[in-house]
Structure 1
Amino acid sequence: MNYSVVIRTLGNGGEKYKKLIHSIEKQTITPKEIIVVLPYDYKLDYKLGNEKIIYCKKGMVNQRVVGINNADSKYILVLDDDISFDNSFAKKMLECIQTTNADVICPNSNEILDWKLSHKKTLIENIKIIKHFLLGNRLFHKKSEYAIKIIGTGGHSIKSNMNINEYYLSQSGNFQCFFIKTEKAKEIQFEKEAWVEATQYAIYDDQIFFYKAFLLGQKIIFAPQIKYTHLDGGAGRINTNKNDRFYRKLYGNTRNRTLFWRRFLYLPSNNLSKLWLSICYFYATINTILIYSLPNILLPKHLYLINKAILKGIKEGFTYMFENKMQ
């Protein structure tokens, strides 16, 4: 039951990275190897001593691919640098992947199960959930068998009535931490999706990876009872002011959603489905413009930059698709 640990990092995770390394050290089933992928000219601020450090071109997709392609075990525990978990985490992942005959296991950080309206949440938290619902980014469902289901807007829907003691099929998951058969990870050929890095934030990288796996017929299992903690290091955030980051993310989200929607949903569909998908995309686009514009109606410069970012994202999404003949 050998497995490799693959970590992508910029090397400056500090105490959060130390917690990750200590979590790995304590595992009851030790990994065959620990692979740490760093960009060229970056340094690791904390070393375990027996890890294999690989340098490559900076990029969230590229670093993930390099780590996966260098793994030499039957399974891979894929991690970001701001994760922690208990000492039986790997054991539970191995048992789950064998019990369910799955190809991919997505554990639970409570970010998924906790995404619901509640009187226990603050008003701001509930408004955020409603906003994402209206944007078509994240909805809820009860009847589908899938824990996470991709929807026509290019967003996803989460099963709201999951039992924490059961396993669920899924079409997506959290990219920060998952367990996968090595041959299946390589089959996805994630290097072909380097276009997602053009926005600098690589928004939608998780959904693209897992949905490609799903389309290839891989069995993805969401396991609510296998838990980890996301420490949210944010080391990869671009060092710009708050407004600039907001515009960049808005542009990146719109561009990459457009590309994801067209490539993985619209193009493979029949004509009737294409009509429905077009309506869904139009709904999400109009709501994006309205929801971000209306609160800033009295701030003309901010309003202009918001709509510029959205329209630029849409235009570049379709332009990139046609120029690169993406299928």
Structure 2
Amino acid sequence: MEYTAVIRTLGKAGEKFQTLLDSLVSQVIPPKEIIVYIAEGYPVPKETCGKEKYVYVPKGMVAQRALNYDEVQTEYILFLDDDMYLPPSLAEDLFKAMAKTSADVMSPDIYPNHSRPLGQELIMFVSGRMRARRFCDSWGYKVMRTGGYSYRKHLQKNIYRSQTNAGACFMCRKEDFLSIRFEDELWLDKVPYPIGEDQVMFYKMHLSGLRVYTMYGSGIVHLDAGGNLSTDKEMGLLYSDLRFRMVFWHRFLWSADNLWGKILDALAFGYYIAFTLCISVLKLQKKALLTKCKALRETYRFLISEDYRKLPKVR
């Protein structure tokens, strides 16, 4: 099977980017081409494997992925962020998993949510952001009415169908990716930190009828270790996260539901908002509370704006 590896980057990942490039050329099934989509205005990084080529595109997590991919000549694309380690058999394993399940999209599980300790599970459940499913259906990850997601706690096999995934690595056909018109979701890039673009992308795939799967235990590693956050960045993340959740909830859940579903959606999201505001009040976090209120106010203005109404309907 032939595929092209495409990477979005600002060119700042350094050794992590080198690790990714080395991982690609070490694949049992190496990519036919490695194309790096770098944001305009950023220099080409010094890291190289000698086989990659660069294409300048507008900056943005969505803008650097919602492309026509005219440069790609293969049927399949392996989509990547610039800070991943890939085990040598990853591409081969993804192809095998797709053939086994008749999947249209296959994404290796990057964050082992099923391994979260009970204390973290309870906190996430009460907040409405995330829920562990112990008495499971056949799904891996599912989107919840709060705009968060639930995950399978106990794994009986290594491949499950999902409604969302982490977007740092996945494989699908070029034509299938283009069919979801991800470029319609450029609103995600209009915040300080484009949180949630992967959930929007995968959920659009799911709603469009594409069979999205999660492959567990692949050996892939996300090399971004994070770090201490400045107060400004922390507030920017709070703002961006709440704005994403409110737009996602309205655009993909509430707007597409029937009357009874809309009532349940409103109750679920209302709980989530009440909880996140109350936490800031109880912790006496004035700056966080003001940031959240600002996010709610400005997101509401966006939802009633002409720009939002012009967005093509999802379903």
Q: Give the secondary-structure state (helix, strand or coil) at the position aligned to 1:218.
A: coil
**Residue 61 of structure 1, CA deviation:** 0.6
Q: Give the secondary-structure state (helix, strand or coil) at the position aligned to 1:79.
A: strand
**In structure 1, what is the equivalent of residue 191 of structure 2?**
199
**In structure 2, what is the equivalent of residue 88 of structure 1?**
89
2:146 corresponds to which of 144, 150, 153: 153
Which letter maps to 1:148? Y
Q: Give the secondary-structure state (helix, strand or coil) at the position aligned to 2:248.
A: helix
Number of aligned positions between the proteins:
307
1:163-312 aligned at under 5 Å gives the runs: 163=156, 165-232=157-224, 242-295=230-283, 297=284, 303-312=285-294
Preserved CA contact (<8 Å) 1:75 1:179 = yes
**Residue 106 of structure 1, CA deviation:** 1.2
CA distance in 1, matches of 2:9, 2:186: 17
Preserved CA contact (<8 Å) 1:68 1:185 = no
**Residue 69 of structure 1, CA deviation:** 5.3
Indicate yes or no: 2:118 matched with 1:136: no
Preserved CA contact (<8 Å) 2:109 2:165 = no
CA distance in 2, matches of 1:226, 1:274: 38
* Bigger Cα displacement from structure 2, 104-113 vs 179-188: 104-113
**Residue 188 of structure 1, CA deviation:** 1.3
Q: Give the secondary-structure state (helix, strand or coil) at the position aligned to 1:61.
A: coil
CA distance in 1, matches of 2:190, 2:152: 31
**In structure 1, what is the equivalent of residue 66 of structure 2?**
65
Preserved CA contact (<8 Å) 2:63 2:186 = yes
Preserved CA contact (<8 Å) 2:66 2:183 = yes
CA distance in 1, matches of 2:117, 2:201: 25
**Residue 45 of structure 1, CA deviation:** 2.6
- What root-mean-square deviation, in Å, do the aligned CA atoms of Structure 1 and Structure 2 show? 1.9
Closer, same or farther: CA 46–39 of 1 in aligned 2, 3 Å? same
**Residue 291 of structure 1, CA deviation:** 1.9
**Residue 304 of structure 1, CA deviation:** 2.8
Which letter maps to 1:181? R
Q: Give the secondary-structure state (helix, strand or coil) at the position aligned to 2:233.
A: helix
**In structure 1, what is the equivalent of residue 34 of structure 2?**
34
Matched-pair identity in %: 31
Indicate yes or no: 2:69 matched with 1:77: no
Which letter maps to 2:152? K
Preserved CA contact (<8 Å) 1:8 1:64 = yes
Q: Give the secondary-structure state (helix, strand or coil) at the position aligned to 2:87.
A: coil
CA distance in 1, matches of 2:169, 2:87: 14
Give deviations 1:262-295, integer Å, cap 9, x for gaps: 0000001111110111000100000001123312
Structure 2 unaligned blocks of 5 or more: none
Q: Give the secondary-structure state (helix, strand or coil) at the position aligned to 1:178.
A: strand
Q: Give the secondary-structure state (helix, strand or coil) at the position aligned to 2:54.
A: strand
Closer, same or farther: CA 21–233 of 1 in aligned 2, 3 Å? farther
